[in-house]
């Protein structure tokens, strides 16, 4: 990737050739013209990204430094600069730490779950014939296509206290205490239920990605390894896995990004964060603080914390991957 | 289905590789069972949508029904303004897909085929933009849309335009990143040939490049469609008082009631909400898989 990113070396320019202002000659066309066309092509997307992403990001940080409640939002009271006040209040609040723990634990379970299921099924898919593989892919595409709200509702219904199939089957199998069991009442079963739904709808991305990766490994390499007497496990570990690593990195990062900021499933399945907020994650917490509690400054501080955490996790993960010696 | 179009892995001799045979039947049975388990929630959703109320609110749920009914769907459309919400969702997701198709294509072309100063910086910024948890921006975006509303009402709070703007911006970084690989894969010779034939950069972009990167565009459009179609948070935050401008995900929640959830209506609504995405997926699955594989490899 890095090779692709570097601009063409100037050595290619024949001496004396007309150069642009910046002393670089592009591969084709006049330099200024090319830069101008590029700017033109990039402008619409760039303007949108600056207006709806970069500027709000800046605003988020700014809002987090103010006391910004209902009165300020409606213009009834002057803004009060708090500096890091919101952050110290947040870090001193036991609830924040619980929510942070919830978020990290929940995201970790979801990421590991989707990776494990996705990878296992990708390997399985690469080893079976056309019909079972097609059925598996159709089912996975179906789960993938299901909108988050629809997936949440059907999982809720399957695990419904009174009319759910799962309780009925479990108690039918002799586990009597499951009859009328409320999955959303307890903190951990509620999280487990949501995690189940999240893994269900997010493993397909991992599976498709890894399957594409496995298929891209030339048959000859696997054959050569097995001719050399390598076991299936050894081939997987020493030949396939290193070749799949870049894809694995992408799948993992995507999963971290998605699962760390899940909103819909938690909100719908635990009715806005669970009983007494036991199932809150950072994202839902920020929403509740801001829009239910009219504390926009505090909500923004939570948003900043979330953004920073996500960036840090991603960077650390990339570092670790790079540190192990393989390209990313 | 192309993702599954290959036979068993064979060696150069055409013989099935040793070590594959014995476990395969077992693996195939397992695969089918897993597929059934994965598809089950969808099956249950559709089945429930067609069940009469008595069978849904039963403590003895059965995985079939002998008396399918459309009552739940009728309920959804009469009790709530469901048709309108459906159209709103289609409108938002449709506009997002079409516009992001053009914008991300243009940006991807500029970033891959043009050399200019700051290109690397831009690429890195787009990569970083993908990591921004856009949900965290809900609060500033709420205030932004509120002020936009006083200038351009269509893009302000309570209007679908606000959702379009937000989803458009959020789908762009990944779309651009994804398309880059496809655009870069088009050989430079083609561009030279087109130039020799007298095609300008503009014509080359639209008449040669655009059709060539179609698989990437298709994959990209599915992902932005799903993004916009699934959105719950922004619809919930932006569309506060103008209920006629709500989108589907919120419409379904109407049937969750403290007095008892109307599961028939909820499942019928969820089914209706899933169908467009499923149809989209079935049509483009081939491109989706190759598109993601292509983007991931790039």
Question: Residue B20 domain-assigned?
Answer: no
B40 and B127 together in one domain: no
pLDDT for B93: 95
B236 and B183 together in one domain: yes
pLDDT for A326: 45
B53 and B156 together in one domain: no
B181 and B203 together in one domain: yes
Q: What CATH number should be reported for the domain holding residue B135?
A: 1.10.3720.10
Across A253-282, b (16+ Cβ under 10 Å) vs e yields bbbbbbbbbbbbbbbbbbeebbeebbbbbb
Residues of chain B contacting residue A24, judged by C-beta atoms under 8 Å apart: 115, 117
Is A42 close to B107, i.e. CB distance below 8 A? yes
Domain membership of residue B61 as a residue range: 28-68
Number of domains in chain B: 2
| Sequence-ordered alpha helix ranges (H) in chain B | 21-49, 53-56, 71-79, 82-113, 119-129, 138-151, 160-185, 188-196, 201-203, 210-212, 214-230, 233-238, 248-253, 263-297
pLDDT digits (tens, 9 = 90+) for B114-134: 888 888 899 888 888 888 888
Checking if the pLDDT of B11 tops 60, the result is no
Is A155 close to B12, i.e. CB distance below 8 A? no
Q: Are B134 and A260 in contact (CB under 8 A)?
A: no
pLDDT for A6: 37
The residue length of chain A stands at 328
What tokens does B128 get? Answer: 């970083």
Q: Count of CB atoms within 10 A of residue B77's CB? A: 16
Helices B263-297, B160-185: axis angle to 10 degrees equals 30
Checking if the pLDDT of A243 tops 70, the result is yes
Nearest residue to A207 via CA among B177, B133, B31, B20: B31
User: What is the DSSP annotation of B98-123?
Assistant: HHHHHHHHHHHHHHHH---TTHHHHH
Q: Among B6, B41, B68, give the residue marking a domain's end.
A: B68
At B294, is the pLDDT very low, low, confident or very high (cuts 50, 70, 90)? low
Residues of chain A contacting residue B296, judged by C-beta atoms under 8 Å apart: 209, 212-213, 246-247, 250
Q: Among B39, B68, B97, give the residue marking a domain's end.
A: B68
Min distance B204 CA to chain A CA atoms (Å)? 13
Residues of chain B contacting residue A271, judged by C-beta atoms under 8 Å apart: 256
What is the Cα–Cα distance from B162 to B175, expressed in whole angstroms? Answer: 20
Q: Is A228 on the interface with B (CB under 8 A)?
A: no
Between residues A194 and B289, which one has the greater pLDDT?
A: A194
What is the Cα–Cα distance from B119 to A53, expressed in whole angstroms? Answer: 19
Min distance B130 CA to chain A CA atoms (Å)? 9
- Of B55-59, B150-154, B267-271, which range is least confident? B55-59
B46 and B175 together in one domain: no
Between residues B161 and A249, which one has the greater pLDDT?
A: B161
A67 beta partners: A80
Across A151-181, b (16+ Cβ under 10 Å) vs e yields bbbbbbbbbbeebbbbbbebbeeeeeebeeb
CB pairs under 8 A between A and B: 340
Alpha-carbon Rg for chain B in angstroms: 24
Residues of chain B contacting residue A286, judged by C-beta atoms under 8 Å apart: 136, 138-139
At A323, is the pLDDT very low, low, confident or very high (cuts 50, 70, 90)? low
B159 and B39 together in one domain: no
Beta-carbon contacts of residue B235 (< 8 Å; ≥ 6 apart)? B163, B246, B247, B249, B250
Residues of chain B contacting residue A126, judged by C-beta atoms under 8 Å apart: 9
Is A60 close to B267, i.e. CB distance below 8 A? no
Q: Is A267 on the interface with B (CB under 8 A)?
A: yes
The residue length of chain B stands at 298
Q: Which among A130, A208, A303 has the least Cβ separation from residue B289?
A: A208
pLDDT digits (tens, 9 = 90+) for A204-240: 999 998 998 888 888 888 888 878 888 878 887 888 8
Question: Residue B89 domain-assigned?
Answer: yes
pLDDT for B287: 74
What is the Cα–Cα distance from A286 to A40, expressed in whole angstroms? Answer: 38
Question: Residue B5 domain-assigned?
Answer: no
Between residues A109 and B80, which one has the greater pLDDT?
A: A109
What tokens does B235 get? Answer: 């619809």
From chain A residues 13-72, the ones with a CB under 8 A of any chain B CB are 22, 24, 26-29, 31, 34-35, 37-39, 41-42, 44-46, 48-49, 51-53, 55-57, 59-60, 63
Q: Are A190 and A271 in contact (CB under 8 A)?
A: no
For A294, counting Cβ atoms within 10 Å of its Cβ (0-12 exposed, 13-18 middle, 19+ buried), the class is: middle
What tokens does A92 get? Answer: 């001193």
Tell me which DSSP letter residue A181 carries: -
Is B120 close to A6, i.e. CB distance below 8 A? yes
Considering only alpha carbons, which residue of chain B is nearest residue A50?
B169
Provide, rounded to the nearest whole percent, the portion of chain A with pLDDT above 70: 88
B43 and B166 together in one domain: no
Tell me which DSSP letter residue A280 carries: -
A81 beta partners: A66
Residues of chain A contacting residue B230, judged by C-beta atoms under 8 Å apart: 147-149, 264
Residues of chain A contacting residue B261, judged by C-beta atoms under 8 Å apart: 160
pLDDT digits (tens, 9 = 90+) for A19-76: 444 444 444 455 667 788 888 999 999 999 999 999 999 999 999 999 888 888 888 7
Residues of chain B contacting residue A48, judged by C-beta atoms under 8 Å apart: 103, 165, 168-169, 172
Q: Count of CB atoms within 10 A of residue A213's CB? A: 24
Q: CA distances (Å), B113 to each of A29, B60, B110, B141, in order?
A: 12, 62, 6, 33
Provide, rounded to the nearest whole percent, the portion of chain A with pLDDT above 90: 56
Greatest CA span in chain A, whole angstroms? Answer: 88
pLDDT for B144: 95
Q: CA distances (Å), A167 to each of A186, B64, B194, in order?
A: 15, 17, 65
What is the Cα–Cα distance from B128 to A31, expressed in whole angstroms? Answer: 28
Q: Which among A142, A160, A263 has the least Cβ separation from residue B232?
A: A263
Q: Among B40, B68, B96, give the residue marking a domain's end.
A: B68
For B124, counting Cβ atoms within 10 Å of its Cβ (0-12 exposed, 13-18 middle, 19+ buried), the class is: exposed
Nearest residue to B3 via CA among B297, B281, B298: B281
B226 and B97 together in one domain: yes
Checking if the pLDDT of B292 tops 80, the result is no
Considering only alpha carbons, which residue of chain A is nearest residue B248?
A149
Min distance B155 CA to chain A CA atoms (Å)? 12
Question: Residue B56 domain-assigned?
Answer: yes
pLDDT for B296: 60
pLDDT for B44: 96
Q: Is A79 on the interface with B (CB under 8 A)?
A: no
* pTM for the full predicted model: 0.86
Q: What is the mean pLDDT of residues A245-255?
A: 86
B172 and B223 together in one domain: yes
B241 and B271 together in one domain: yes
Question: Residue B252 domain-assigned?
Answer: yes
B216 and B150 together in one domain: yes
Is A49 close to B129, i.e. CB distance below 8 A? yes
Checking if the pLDDT of B2 tops 50, the result is no
pLDDT for A324: 60
Q: Which among B8, B44, B296 has the least Cβ separation from residue A247?
A: B296
At B21, is the pLDDT very low, low, confident or very high (cuts 50, 70, 90)? low
Question: Residue B157 domain-assigned?
Answer: yes
Is A154 close to B248, i.e. CB distance below 8 A? no
Question: Residue B169 domain-assigned?
Answer: yes
Average pLDDT, chain A: 85
Checking if the pLDDT of B64 tops 90, the result is no
pLDDT digits (tens, 9 = 90+) for A126-181: 889 999 999 999 999 999 999 999 999 999 999 999 899 999 999 989 888 888 89
Checking if the pLDDT of A116 tops 80, the result is yes
Q: Cα–Cα–Cα angle for B274, B276, B281, nearest 5°?
A: 95
At A81, is the pLDDT very low, low, confident or very high (cuts 50, 70, 90)? confident
Min distance B7 CA to chain A CA atoms (Å)? 6
Residues of chain A contacting residue B226, judged by C-beta atoms under 8 Å apart: 145, 147
Q: Count of CB atoms within 10 A of residue A24's CB? A: 17
Place of tokens 């003895």: B60
Tell me which DSSP letter residue B156 carries: S
Min distance A304 CA to chain B CA atoms (Å)? 7
Average pLDDT, chain B: 86
What tokens does A158 get? Answer: 């399957």
Checking if the pLDDT of B236 tops 60, the result is yes
Is A145 close to B281, i.e. CB distance below 8 A? yes
B170 and B221 together in one domain: yes
Residues of chain A contacting residue B86, judged by C-beta atoms under 8 Å apart: none
What is the Cα–Cα distance from A161 to A13, expressed in whole angstroms? Answer: 74
**Secondary structure class of A6 (helix, strand, coil):** coil
Checking if the pLDDT of A13 tops 50, the result is no
Question: Residue B228 domain-assigned?
Answer: yes
User: What is the DSSP annotation of A66-90?
Assistant: EE--HHHHTTSS--EE-TTHHHHHH
């Amino acid at each position: 990737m890095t090779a692709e990113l570097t601009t063409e070396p100037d050595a290619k320019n024949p001496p004396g050739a007309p150069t642009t202002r910046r002393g670089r000659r592009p591969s084709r066309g006049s330099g200024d013209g090319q830069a101008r066309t590029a700017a033109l092509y990039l402008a619409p997307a760039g303007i949108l990204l600056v207006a709806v992403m970069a500027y709000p990001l800046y605003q988020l940080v700014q809002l987090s430094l103010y006391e910004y409640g209902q009165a300020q939002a409606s213009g009834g009271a002057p803004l009060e600069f708090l500096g890091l006040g919101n952050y110290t209040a947040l870090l001193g609040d036991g609830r924040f730490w619980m929510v942070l723990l919830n978020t990290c634990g929940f995201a970790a379970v979801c990421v590991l779950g989707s990776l494990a299921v996705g990878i296992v099924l990708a390997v399985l898919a690469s080893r079976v014939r056309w019909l079972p593989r097609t059925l598996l892919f159709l089912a996975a595409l179906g789960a993938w296509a299901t909108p988050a709200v629809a997936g949440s509702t059907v999982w809720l219904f399957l695990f419904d206290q009174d009319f759910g199939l799962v309780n009925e089957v479990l108690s039918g199998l002799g586990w009597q205490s499951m009859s009328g069991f409320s999955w959303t009442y307890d903190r951990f079963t509620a999280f487990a239920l949501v995690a189940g739904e999240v893994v269900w709808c997010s493993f397909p991305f991992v599976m498709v990605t890894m399957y594409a990766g496995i298929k891209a490994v030339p048959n000859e390499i696997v054959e050569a390894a097995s001719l050399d007497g390598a076991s299936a496990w050894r081939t997987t570990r020493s030949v396939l896995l290193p070749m799949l690593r870049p894809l694995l990195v992408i799948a993992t990062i995507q999963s971290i990004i998605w699962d760390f900021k899940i909103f819909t499933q938690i909100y719908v399945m635990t009715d806005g964060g669970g009983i007494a907020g036991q199932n809150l994650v950072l994202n839902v917490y920020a929403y509740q603080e801001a829009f239910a509690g009219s504390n926009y400054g505090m909500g923004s501080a939570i948003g900043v914390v979330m953004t920073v955490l996500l960036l840090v996790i991603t960077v650390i993960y990339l570092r670790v991957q790079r540190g192990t010696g393989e390209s990313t | 289905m192309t993702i599954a179009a290959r036979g068993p892995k064979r060696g150069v001799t055409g013989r099935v590789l040793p070590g594959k045979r014995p476990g395969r039947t077992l693996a195939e049975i397992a695969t089918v069972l897993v597929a059934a388990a994965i598809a089950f929630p969808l099956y249950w959703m559709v089945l429930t949508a067609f069940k009469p109320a008595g069978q849904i609110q039963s403590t003895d749920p059965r995985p079939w029904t002998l008396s399918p009914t459309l009552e739940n769907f009728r309920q959804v459309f009469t009790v709530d303004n469901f048709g309108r919400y459906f159209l709103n969702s289609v409108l938002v997701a449709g506009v997002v897909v079409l516009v992001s198709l053009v914008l991300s294509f243009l940006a991807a072309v500029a970033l891959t085929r043009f050399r200019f100063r700051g290109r690397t910086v831009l690429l890195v910024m787009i990569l970083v933009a993908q990591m921004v948890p856009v949900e965290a921006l809900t609060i500033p975006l709420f205030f932004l849309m509120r002020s936009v509303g006083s200038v351009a009402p269509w893009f302000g709070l309570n209007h679908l335009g606000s959702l379009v703007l937000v989803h458009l911006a959020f789908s762009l970084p990944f779309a651009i990143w994804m398309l880059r690989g496809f655009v870069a894969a088009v050989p430079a010779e083609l561009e030279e040939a087109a130039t020799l034939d007298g095609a300008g950069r503009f014509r080359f972009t639209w008449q040669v490049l655009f059709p060539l990167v179609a698989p990437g565009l298709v994959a990209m459009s599915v992902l932005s469609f799903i993004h916009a179609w699934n959105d719950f948070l922004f619809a919930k935050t932006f569309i506060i008082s103008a209920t006629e401008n709500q989108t589907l995900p919120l419409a379904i929640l109407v049937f969750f009631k403290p007095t008892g959830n109307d599961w028939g209506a909820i499942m019928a609504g969820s089914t209706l909400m899933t169908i467009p995405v499923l149809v989209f997926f079935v049509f483009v699955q081939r491109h989706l898989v190759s598109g993601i594989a292509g983007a991931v490899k790039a």
